[in-house]
Protein backbone atom coordinates (compact mmCIF):
# COMPACT_ATOMS: atom_id res chain seq x y z
CA UNK A 1 0.00 0.00 0.00
CA UNK A 2 1.05 3.59 -0.66
CA UNK A 3 -0.18 6.43 1.57
CA UNK A 4 -0.81 9.91 0.14
CA UNK A 5 -1.58 12.61 2.67
CA UNK A 6 -3.29 15.68 1.29
CA UNK A 7 -4.46 13.26 -1.37
CA UNK A 8 -7.64 15.21 -2.11
CA UNK A 9 -5.71 18.45 -2.51
CA UNK A 10 -3.98 19.93 -5.52
CA UNK A 11 -0.63 18.15 -5.76
CA UNK A 12 -1.82 15.12 -3.80
CA UNK A 13 -4.74 14.34 -6.12
CA UNK A 14 -2.50 14.68 -9.17
CA UNK A 15 -0.05 12.31 -7.53
CA UNK A 16 -2.89 9.84 -7.00
CA UNK A 17 -3.64 10.13 -10.73
CA UNK A 18 0.01 9.52 -11.54
CA UNK A 19 0.07 6.39 -9.39
CA UNK A 20 -3.20 5.19 -10.91
CA UNK A 21 -1.68 5.66 -14.39
CA UNK A 22 0.94 3.10 -13.34
CA UNK A 23 -1.80 0.67 -12.37
CA UNK A 24 -1.34 1.35 -8.64
CA UNK A 25 -4.68 1.45 -6.83
CA UNK A 26 -3.75 0.12 -3.38
CA UNK A 27 -3.75 3.66 -2.05
CA UNK A 28 -4.74 5.11 1.29
CA UNK A 29 -5.65 8.78 0.88
CA UNK A 30 -5.46 10.97 3.98
CA UNK A 31 -6.96 14.45 4.04
CA UNK A 32 -9.29 16.90 5.76
CA UNK A 33 -12.56 17.14 3.85
CA UNK A 34 -14.09 19.93 5.91
CA UNK A 35 -14.14 21.62 2.51
CA UNK A 36 -16.13 18.89 0.80
CA UNK A 37 -15.46 20.32 -2.67
CA UNK A 38 -12.00 18.75 -2.51
CA UNK A 39 -13.51 15.26 -2.79
CA UNK A 40 -14.28 16.05 -6.45
CA UNK A 41 -10.54 15.81 -7.09
CA UNK A 42 -10.85 12.10 -6.30
CA UNK A 43 -14.07 11.35 -8.16
CA UNK A 44 -12.18 9.73 -11.05
CA UNK A 45 -9.46 8.12 -8.89
CA UNK A 46 -9.03 4.51 -7.78
CA UNK A 47 -8.31 4.11 -4.06
CA UNK A 48 -8.23 1.41 -1.43
CA UNK A 49 -9.34 3.61 1.44
CA UNK A 50 -9.66 7.12 2.87
CA UNK A 51 -8.89 8.42 6.37
CA UNK A 52 -9.31 11.82 7.98
CA UNK A 53 -5.94 13.39 8.76
CA UNK A 54 -6.54 13.43 12.53
CA UNK A 55 -7.76 9.82 12.57
CA UNK A 56 -4.70 8.76 10.59
CA UNK A 57 -2.27 10.49 12.94
CA UNK A 58 -4.02 8.99 15.97
CA UNK A 59 -3.70 5.50 14.48
CA UNK A 60 -0.04 6.08 13.67
CA UNK A 61 0.66 7.25 17.21
CA UNK A 62 -1.30 4.31 18.64
CA UNK A 63 0.93 1.91 16.70
CA UNK A 64 -1.75 0.52 14.38
CA UNK A 65 -0.47 -1.99 11.84
CA UNK A 66 -1.38 -0.77 8.35
CA UNK A 67 0.24 -3.78 6.71
CA UNK A 68 3.13 -3.49 4.25
CA UNK A 69 3.64 0.12 3.15
CA UNK A 70 5.72 0.89 0.06
CA UNK A 71 5.93 4.64 0.61
CA UNK A 72 4.34 7.69 2.20
CA UNK A 73 3.89 10.80 0.05
CA UNK A 74 3.17 13.56 2.57
CA UNK A 75 1.53 16.42 0.67
CA UNK A 76 -0.91 17.53 3.35
CA UNK A 77 -0.43 20.96 4.92
CA UNK A 78 -1.98 24.30 5.69
CA UNK A 79 -0.68 25.97 2.53
CA UNK A 80 -2.09 29.48 3.00
CA UNK A 81 0.81 31.93 3.04
CA UNK A 82 -1.58 34.51 4.51
CA UNK A 83 -2.39 32.40 7.61
CA UNK A 84 -0.86 34.09 10.66
CA UNK A 85 -2.13 31.73 13.37
CA UNK A 86 1.37 30.40 13.91
CA UNK A 87 0.34 27.90 16.57
CA UNK A 88 -2.10 26.28 14.15
CA UNK A 89 0.34 26.31 11.22
CA UNK A 90 3.14 24.76 13.28
CA UNK A 91 0.85 22.04 14.63
CA UNK A 92 -0.53 21.08 11.23
CA UNK A 93 2.66 21.48 9.19
CA UNK A 94 5.60 21.00 11.53
CA UNK A 95 4.49 18.68 14.34
CA UNK A 96 2.42 16.48 12.03
CA UNK A 97 5.31 16.06 9.61
CA UNK A 98 7.71 15.29 12.46
CA UNK A 99 5.39 12.54 13.69
CA UNK A 100 5.23 10.97 10.23
CA UNK A 101 8.99 11.23 9.74
CA UNK A 102 9.74 9.38 12.95
CA UNK A 103 7.11 6.73 12.22
CA UNK A 104 8.30 6.09 8.67
CA UNK A 105 11.99 6.02 9.55
CA UNK A 106 11.36 3.68 12.48
CA UNK A 107 9.69 1.27 10.06
CA UNK A 108 12.09 2.03 7.18
CA UNK A 109 9.26 3.30 4.96
CA UNK A 110 10.31 5.68 2.15
CA UNK A 111 9.06 9.18 3.00
CA UNK A 112 8.55 11.92 0.40
CA UNK A 113 7.27 15.24 1.72
CA UNK A 114 6.32 18.66 0.41
CA UNK A 115 8.68 21.43 1.39
CA UNK A 116 8.41 24.87 -0.24
CA UNK A 117 10.42 27.47 -2.12
CA UNK A 118 8.85 30.01 0.23
CA UNK A 119 11.68 29.16 2.68
CA UNK A 120 13.98 31.35 0.54
CA UNK A 121 11.94 34.49 1.22
CA UNK A 122 13.22 37.56 -0.62
CA UNK A 123 16.64 36.06 -1.22
CA UNK A 124 18.19 35.91 -4.66
CA UNK A 125 19.98 32.57 -4.28
CA UNK A 126 17.71 29.52 -4.51
CA UNK A 127 20.10 26.76 -3.56
CA UNK A 128 19.38 24.23 -0.82
CA UNK A 129 21.56 25.68 1.95
CA UNK A 130 20.80 27.27 5.33
CA UNK A 131 22.42 30.61 4.47
CA UNK A 132 19.87 31.13 1.65
CA UNK A 133 16.77 30.52 3.77
CA UNK A 134 14.82 33.49 5.16
CA UNK A 135 11.09 32.66 5.59
CA UNK A 136 8.72 35.63 5.54
CA UNK A 137 5.48 34.11 6.87
CA UNK A 138 4.23 31.38 9.19
CA UNK A 139 3.73 28.86 6.39
CA UNK A 140 7.27 29.34 5.12
CA UNK A 141 8.65 29.13 8.66
CA UNK A 142 6.87 25.82 9.29
CA UNK A 143 8.40 24.32 6.14
CA UNK A 144 11.81 25.78 6.93
CA UNK A 145 11.80 24.50 10.49
CA UNK A 146 11.00 20.95 9.42
CA UNK A 147 13.86 21.00 6.91
CA UNK A 148 16.14 22.13 9.75
CA UNK A 149 14.84 19.28 11.91
CA UNK A 150 15.46 16.74 9.16
CA UNK A 151 19.00 17.92 8.45
CA UNK A 152 20.01 17.14 12.02
CA UNK A 153 18.77 13.57 11.67
CA UNK A 154 19.55 12.72 8.05
CA UNK A 155 22.89 11.02 8.59
CA UNK A 156 21.30 8.47 10.92
CA UNK A 157 18.30 7.60 8.76
CA UNK A 158 18.51 4.31 6.89
CA UNK A 159 15.45 4.64 4.62
CA UNK A 160 14.74 7.12 1.79
CA UNK A 161 13.62 10.58 2.93
CA UNK A 162 13.16 13.36 0.39
CA UNK A 163 11.84 16.89 0.77
CA UNK A 164 10.84 18.72 -2.40
CA UNK A 165 10.84 22.50 -2.35
CA UNK A 166 7.98 23.23 -4.70
CA UNK A 167 8.20 26.50 -6.58
CA UNK A 168 5.08 28.01 -8.23
CA UNK A 169 2.99 24.97 -9.09
CA UNK A 170 -0.03 25.31 -11.37
CA UNK A 171 -2.31 22.94 -13.24
CA UNK A 172 -5.39 20.71 -12.92
CA UNK A 173 -7.27 20.11 -9.68
CA UNK A 174 -6.42 23.37 -7.90
CA UNK A 175 -9.84 25.00 -8.21
CA UNK A 176 -10.67 24.49 -4.51
CA UNK A 177 -7.69 26.59 -3.39
CA UNK A 178 -9.44 29.96 -3.70
CA UNK A 179 -7.03 32.87 -3.34
CA UNK A 180 -4.11 30.42 -3.07
CA UNK A 181 -4.75 28.99 -6.57
CA UNK A 182 -2.27 29.84 -9.31
CA UNK A 183 -2.29 33.03 -11.34
CA UNK A 184 -3.15 30.93 -14.42
CA UNK A 185 -6.33 29.69 -12.70
CA UNK A 186 -7.36 33.20 -11.69
CA UNK A 187 -6.76 34.53 -15.19
CA UNK A 188 -8.94 31.77 -16.64
CA UNK A 189 -11.75 32.82 -14.32
CA UNK A 190 -11.27 36.49 -15.14
CA UNK A 191 -11.53 35.82 -18.87
CA UNK A 192 -14.69 33.81 -18.30
CA UNK A 193 -16.18 36.90 -16.65
CA UNK A 194 -14.92 39.47 -19.16
CA UNK A 195 -12.04 40.47 -21.40
CA UNK A 196 -9.46 41.58 -18.84
CA UNK A 197 -6.89 39.77 -16.74
CA UNK A 198 -5.33 41.48 -13.75
CA UNK A 199 -1.72 41.63 -12.59
CA UNK A 200 0.08 43.67 -9.96
CA UNK A 201 1.82 46.87 -10.89
CA UNK A 202 5.58 46.98 -10.58
CA UNK A 203 7.31 46.39 -7.25
CA UNK A 204 10.83 45.83 -5.92
CA UNK A 205 12.28 47.43 -9.03
CA UNK A 206 10.29 45.30 -11.47
CA UNK A 207 7.94 46.80 -14.06
CA UNK A 208 4.21 46.03 -14.24
CA UNK A 209 3.76 42.24 -14.48
CA UNK A 210 7.51 41.78 -14.86
CA UNK A 211 8.02 40.06 -11.52
CA UNK A 212 9.66 36.70 -12.18
CA UNK A 213 8.73 33.30 -10.79
CA UNK A 214 9.72 29.74 -11.52
CA UNK A 215 6.34 28.36 -12.65
CA UNK A 216 6.17 24.54 -12.74
CA UNK A 217 3.29 22.46 -14.10
CA UNK A 218 1.91 19.92 -11.65
CA UNK A 219 2.57 17.08 -14.11
CA UNK A 220 6.28 17.81 -13.77
CA UNK A 221 5.97 17.80 -9.98
CA UNK A 222 4.31 14.38 -10.13
CA UNK A 223 7.02 13.12 -12.48
CA UNK A 224 9.73 14.15 -10.01
CA UNK A 225 7.94 12.43 -7.12
CA UNK A 226 7.51 9.21 -9.07
CA UNK A 227 11.13 9.27 -10.21
CA UNK A 228 12.20 9.50 -6.58
CA UNK A 229 9.91 6.57 -5.74
CA UNK A 230 11.74 4.60 -8.44
CA UNK A 231 15.14 5.60 -7.04
CA UNK A 232 15.19 4.75 -3.33
CA UNK A 233 18.93 5.35 -3.24
CA UNK A 234 18.21 9.11 -3.36
CA UNK A 235 17.61 11.09 -0.16
CA UNK A 236 17.86 14.77 0.67
CA UNK A 237 16.18 18.14 0.25
CA UNK A 238 15.79 19.23 -3.37
CA UNK A 239 14.35 22.16 -5.28
CA UNK A 240 11.43 21.28 -7.52
CA UNK A 241 11.09 23.97 -10.17
CA UNK A 242 12.01 24.26 -13.83
CA UNK A 243 15.21 26.21 -13.30
CA UNK A 244 13.89 28.99 -15.53
CA UNK A 245 12.13 32.09 -14.22
CA UNK A 246 9.40 33.62 -16.39
CA UNK A 247 7.33 36.75 -15.87
CA UNK A 248 3.71 37.03 -14.81
CA UNK A 249 3.23 38.76 -18.15
CA UNK A 250 4.37 35.53 -19.83
CA UNK A 251 1.62 33.64 -18.00
CA UNK A 252 -0.95 36.28 -18.94
CA UNK A 253 0.04 36.23 -22.61
CA UNK A 254 -0.10 32.41 -22.64
CA UNK A 255 -3.62 32.43 -21.18
CA UNK A 256 -4.78 35.19 -23.54
CA UNK A 257 -3.24 33.39 -26.53
CA UNK A 258 -5.08 30.20 -25.63
CA UNK A 259 -8.40 32.06 -25.40
CA UNK A 260 -7.59 34.28 -28.40
CA UNK A 261 -8.91 37.32 -26.57
CA UNK A 262 -8.22 39.51 -23.56
CA UNK A 263 -6.05 42.37 -22.31
CA UNK A 264 -4.03 42.99 -19.16
CA UNK A 265 -4.98 45.46 -16.43
CA UNK A 266 -2.32 46.33 -13.86
CA UNK A 267 -3.66 46.90 -10.36
CA UNK A 268 -2.12 48.55 -7.28
CA UNK A 269 0.25 46.35 -5.31
CA UNK A 270 -1.52 45.26 -2.07
CA UNK A 271 -0.24 46.91 1.10
CA UNK A 272 -0.45 43.67 3.12
CA UNK A 273 2.00 41.94 0.75
CA UNK A 274 4.69 44.60 0.79
CA UNK A 275 7.86 43.14 2.26
CA UNK A 276 6.37 39.64 2.19
CA UNK A 277 6.27 39.01 -1.54
CA UNK A 278 8.69 37.01 -3.65
CA UNK A 279 9.23 39.16 -6.74
CA UNK A 280 11.81 36.75 -8.10
CA UNK A 281 12.29 33.00 -7.80
CA UNK A 282 14.34 30.62 -9.92
CA UNK A 283 15.14 27.15 -8.70
CA UNK A 284 18.75 26.06 -8.70
CA UNK A 285 18.23 22.54 -10.02
CA UNK A 286 21.86 21.43 -9.67
CA UNK A 287 21.21 19.06 -6.76
CA UNK A 288 18.27 17.21 -8.33
CA UNK A 289 20.07 16.94 -11.68
CA UNK A 290 23.17 15.62 -9.90
CA UNK A 291 20.98 13.00 -8.22
CA UNK A 292 20.08 11.74 -11.70
CA UNK A 293 16.79 13.38 -12.67
CA UNK A 294 17.23 14.33 -16.33
CA UNK A 295 13.70 14.82 -17.72
CA UNK A 296 12.84 18.21 -19.29
CA UNK A 297 10.32 20.60 -17.74
CA UNK A 298 7.41 22.31 -19.47
CA UNK A 299 7.76 26.00 -20.24
CA UNK A 300 5.00 28.40 -19.18
CA UNK A 301 3.75 28.47 -22.77
CA UNK A 302 3.55 24.66 -22.98
CA UNK A 303 2.16 24.13 -19.49
CA UNK A 304 -0.47 26.87 -19.63
CA UNK A 305 -1.71 25.60 -23.00
CA UNK A 306 -2.15 22.10 -21.57
CA UNK A 307 -3.83 23.47 -18.45
CA UNK A 308 -6.28 25.65 -20.36
CA UNK A 309 -7.26 22.64 -22.47
CA UNK A 310 -7.95 20.63 -19.31
CA UNK A 311 -10.03 23.43 -17.77
CA UNK A 312 -12.05 23.75 -20.97
CA UNK A 313 -12.81 20.02 -21.01
CA UNK A 314 -13.89 20.18 -17.36
CA UNK A 315 -16.12 23.19 -17.95
CA UNK A 316 -14.08 25.23 -15.49
Summarised one tens digit per residue, pLDDT across range 203-225 is 889 999 999 999 999 999 999 99
Tell me the C-alpha to C-alpha distance, in Å, between residue 54 and each of 10, 16, 164. 19, 20, 24
| Shared domain check, 30 and 156 | yes
Query: What's the pLDDT score for residue 230?
Result: 98
Residue 187, domain CATH: 3.90.25.10
Query: What's the pLDDT score for residue 275?
Result: 75
Angstrom distance (rounded) from CA 113 to CA 129:
18
| Shared domain check, 139 and 80 | yes
Catalytic residue annotation: 139, 177
| Shared domain check, 77 and 62 | yes
- pLDDT 10s digits, 19-59: 999 999 999 999 999 999 999 999 999 999 999 999 999 99
Q: How many helices (H) and strands (E) does the chain have?
A: 10, 13
| Shared domain check, 262 and 237 | no
| Shared domain check, 189 and 91 | no
pTM comes to: 0.96
**Full residue range of the structural domain in which residue 203 is found:** 175-212+245-280+303-314
> In terms of Cα–Cα distance, which of 271, 270, 297, 263 is closest to 187?
263
Q: Report the 10 Å Cβ neighbour count for 234.
A: 18
Q: How many domains does the chain have?
A: 2
pLDDT under 70: residue ranges of the chain:
none
| Shared domain check, 45 and 16 | yes
Query: What's the pLDDT score for residue 80?
Result: 74
| Shared domain check, 252 and 115 | no
| Shared domain check, 199 and 109 | no
| Shared domain check, 99 and 39 | yes
CB within 8 Å of 65: residues ≥ 6 apart: none
Is the CB of residue 3 less than 8 Å from the CB of residue 72?
yes
CB within 8 Å of 10: residues ≥ 6 apart: 41, 169, 173, 174, 176, 177, 218
Query: What's the pLDDT score for residue 271?
Result: 86
Angstrom distance (rounded) from CA 314 to CA 176:
14
| Shared domain check, 155 and 33 | yes
| Shared domain check, 255 and 160 | no
Query: What's the pLDDT score for residue 156?
Result: 96
Query: What's the pLDDT score for residue 83?
Result: 76
Residue 100, domain CATH: 3.40.50.720
Angstrom distance (rounded) from CA 215 to CA 222:
14
Query: What's the pLDDT score for residue 203?
Result: 87
Angstrom distance (rounded) from CA 106 to CA 213:
38
| Shared domain check, 193 and 256 | yes
Amino acid sequence: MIIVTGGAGFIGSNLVQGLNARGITDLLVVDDLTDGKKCLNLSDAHLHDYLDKDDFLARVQAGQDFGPIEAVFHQGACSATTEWNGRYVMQVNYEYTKALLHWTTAHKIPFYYASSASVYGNGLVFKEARENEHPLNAYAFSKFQFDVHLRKLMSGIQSPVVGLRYFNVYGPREQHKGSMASVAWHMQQQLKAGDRVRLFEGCDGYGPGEQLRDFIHVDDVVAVNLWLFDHPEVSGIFNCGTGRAQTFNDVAHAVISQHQRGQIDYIAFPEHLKGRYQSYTQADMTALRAAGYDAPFLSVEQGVSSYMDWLSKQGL
